[in-house]
Amino acid sequence: MDESTIGSENADTEDALEAEPELATEPEAEESDEPDLFADEKREALAMLSSIELGVMDPEEIYELMKDADATLVYFIFKWLKKHYHREHDEYESMRRRVKNVTNQFRALTRKAKSGESDPIVEWFEGTYKYRDLSADAFIDIIVEKLEG
């Protein structure tokens, strides 16, 4: 090797050492123009839950909404209401009464919910989340995505 080659190699190395390192940047999240694939299912599930939670429908109307629903979804809705409105919750008594009005009058929904309890998704959900920690919207998003996905 001649001196000119050695000198240029050293210069290249020195330039590389002096250059400021490039900072890694996170890729920007892409905004999706795609509609929510399960928007209708989520809306229907939230209507079922809200009809009991808010007390805006009679048990007969609630039954009509829920009678053809997936058994696991029915289980999850009743379970969320019971866990979210726990004994220390201010609205515990009124929620308990609304749930009982529906389940006592329409035993078919109670049986349906019981059959949905054995779905493996229930074990997954209960091992991953706490019912009390989720709003109705967040809860329904998770459940419907998992059931439909």
Residues 14-61 pLDDT 10s? 554 455 544 444 444 444 455 677 899 999 999 999 999 999 999 999
Q: Quick check: 143 and 76 in contact, CB under 8 A?
A: yes
What does the pLDDT read at residue 15?
Answer: 53
Asked if the model's pLDDT at residue 103 lies above 70, the reply is: yes
The contacts of residue 13 (CB under 8 Å, 6+ apart) are none
Q: Which residue has the higher pLDDT, 81 or 18?
A: 81
Whole-number mean pLDDT of the chain? 84
| Token pair belonging to 94 | 């009124």
Q: Quick check: 49 and 81 in contact, CB under 8 A?
A: yes
Asked if the model's pLDDT at residue 95 lies above 50, the reply is: yes
Residue 66 has φ and ψ, to the nearest 5°, of: -100, -15
What does the pLDDT read at residue 31?
Answer: 46
Q: Which residue has the higher pLDDT, 68 or 37?
A: 68
Asked if the model's pLDDT at residue 137 lies above 60, the reply is: yes
Asked if the model's pLDDT at residue 66 lies above 80, the reply is: yes
Separation CA 69–CA 38 (nearest Å): 15
What does the pLDDT read at residue 149?
Answer: 83
Separation CA 89–CA 92 (nearest Å): 5
| Token pair belonging to 79 | 């379970």
What does the pLDDT read at residue 67?
Answer: 96
